[in-house]
Amino acid sequence: MDLFGFFRKPIPCGDPEWNGLAFDIDDPRIPEAIRAAASSMYQLGMAMYFHATTQGGEWWLMDGDNIVEAFWLE
């Protein structure tokens, strides 16, 4: 049995050196698809944080210490 193509490769969506850093919602370093999805939930005072993962990274929309939503590229 050939498993070629069975596993998806991670899609990087940020620099691992950005891990834990806060970004404004309109920062061009945030991928456009993620900015568009997050902007519908965004409210004044929230920030986007990058979290480096082995799957390519996640962007978290945070309201203070609370995660509102997590975003990644597929």
In the block, tokens 């404004």 appear at 24
Q: Give 2's pLDDT tier (boundaries 50, 70, 90).
A: very low
> Which residues, at least 6 apart from 57, have a Cβ–Cβ distance to it below 8 Å?
12, 13, 14, 16, 50, 51, 72
pLDDT for residue 14 = 94
Strands 22-23 and 66-71: unpaired
Q: What is the pLDDT of residues 43-74, one digit of tens each?
A: 999 999 999 998 889 999 999 999 999 999 98
Q: What is the pLDDT of residues 13-41, one digit of tens each?
A: 999 999 999 999 999 999 999 999 999 99
